[in-house]
């Protein structure tokens, strides 16, 4: 059966200008239609590049060993779905194919480069248009097949959150208040005047004056209206020159005067928390998306499995048979 994680519409592999088909080198027949070893090689490379673009770290960690068999299953699925699309009389207007083709062609610097790539890959413009038409047919089929999938309710999201809340953890973070003094770093005298003012405010804080009261009076930053409070921050959210002094502080402690390229800062660590479970409202959109994707993936798997159960699939290269 096809793997649960389905990367669909591998017809687009042709857009990478892979090798031309060698029909004599047939590896699999699906209801009499041939899938060549060149098709499989192109699809495998497409999956590989898709994984690396999404997860660059895989270039160091290594890729899964079963990419070729995954490509085979996806090619079979695409062939069966294309046949189903034709059975449902799904057709694509020539103008739509023109639009897709022109959008693709526009990625090339000029027509000469495009034609050279065609020649080197052994492809033809008509061949690419035909593959694009197939891809558009598959897209239309998927929209039709998935149209009846129920939407995800907020209660479903809440139930999922309650059962899996431990998976939604936030990184350690600190809450910070600030008194910011804007300074023109190109004018040394003005900058020195601002430094003196900021130093005076810092002395008042250290003598026991209320940080929030002083922030409401002197702050020139985003926290002025909230008595200096500028919110929660995870590691890396703040500039290093601001984050580093905060790391060694206890809650309630205040930094020395910090100079940056925009002025002077006095920071107070007002709260901190270790890894914590994120509230539902912060993660409900992600949960909604996750549940929706799983519903569509499960439904689509059943749909493709049903097509495969009725299909004639002959492996001329038996090493490509998946035993999952």
| Domains along the sequence of the chain with CATH | 10-153+283-320 (1.10.4030.10), 169-277 (3.10.50.40)
Q: For residues 119 and 126, what is the distance between their CA atoms, to the nearest angstrom?
A: 13
Say what angle helices 94-105 and 125-146 make with each other, to 10 degrees.
120
The reported pTM is 0.61
Contact, 101 vs 129, CB < 8 A?
yes
pLDDT for res 1: 38
Q: What is the CA radius of gyration of the chain?
A: 30
Strands (E), the chain: 26-30, 33-36, 169-170, 173-182, 229-234, 258-260, 263-273, 276-277, 313-315
Can you say whether the dihedral through the CA atoms of 190, 192, 195, 197 is positive or negative? negative
Report pLDDT for 18: 44
The two tokens of residue 176 are 């910070």
Q: How far apart are CA 2 and CA 306, in angstroms?
A: 11
pLDDT under 50 in the chain at which residues? 1-22
The pLDDT of residue 10: 41
Q: CA angle 246-248-249, nearest 5°?
A: 65
Q: Which burial class, exposed, middle or buried, applies to 64 when counting CB atoms under 10 A from its CB (0-12, 13-18, 19+)? A: exposed
């Amino acid at each position: 059966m096809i793997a649960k994680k389905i990367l669909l519409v591998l017809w687009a592999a042709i857009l990478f200008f892979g090798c031309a088909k060698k029909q004599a080198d047939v590896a699999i027949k699906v209801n009499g239609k041939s899938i060549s070893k060149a098709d499989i090689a192109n699809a495998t490379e497409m999956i590989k590049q898709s994984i690396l673009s999404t997860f660059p770290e895989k270039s160091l960690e290594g890729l899964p060993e079963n990419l070729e068999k995954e490509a085979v299953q996806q090619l079979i699925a695409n062939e069966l779905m294309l046949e189903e699309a034709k059975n449902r009389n799904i057709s694509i207007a020539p103008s739509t194919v023109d639009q897709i083709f022109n959008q693709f062609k526009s990625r090339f610097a000029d027509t000469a480069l495009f034609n050279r790539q065609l020649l080197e890959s052994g492809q033809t413009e008509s061949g690419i248009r035909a593959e694009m038409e197939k891809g558009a047919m598959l897209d239309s089929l998927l929209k039709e097949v998935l149209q009846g999938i129920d939407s995800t309710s907020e209660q479903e999201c809440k139930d999922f959150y309650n059962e899996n809340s431990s998976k939604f953890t936030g990184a350690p973070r600190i809450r910070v208040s600030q008194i910011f003094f804007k300074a023109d770093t190109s004018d040394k005298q003005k900058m020195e005047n601002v430094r003196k003012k900021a130093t005076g405010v810092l002395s008042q804080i250290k003598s026991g004056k209320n940080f929030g009261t002083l922030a409401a009076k002197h702050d020139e930053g985003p926290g002025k209206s909230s008595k200096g409070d500028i919110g929660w921050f995870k590691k890396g959210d703040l500039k290093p020159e601001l984050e580093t002094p905060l790391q060694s502080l206890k809650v309630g402690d205040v930094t020395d005067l910090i100079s940056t390229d925009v002025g002077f800062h006095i920071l107070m660590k007002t709260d901190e928390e270790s890894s914590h479970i994120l509230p539902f409202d912060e993660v409900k959109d992600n949960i909604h998306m996750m549940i929706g994707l799983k519903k569509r993936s499960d439904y689509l798997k059943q749909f493709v499995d049903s097509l495969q159960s009725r299909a004639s699939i002959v492996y001329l290269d038996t090493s490509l048979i998946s035993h999952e």
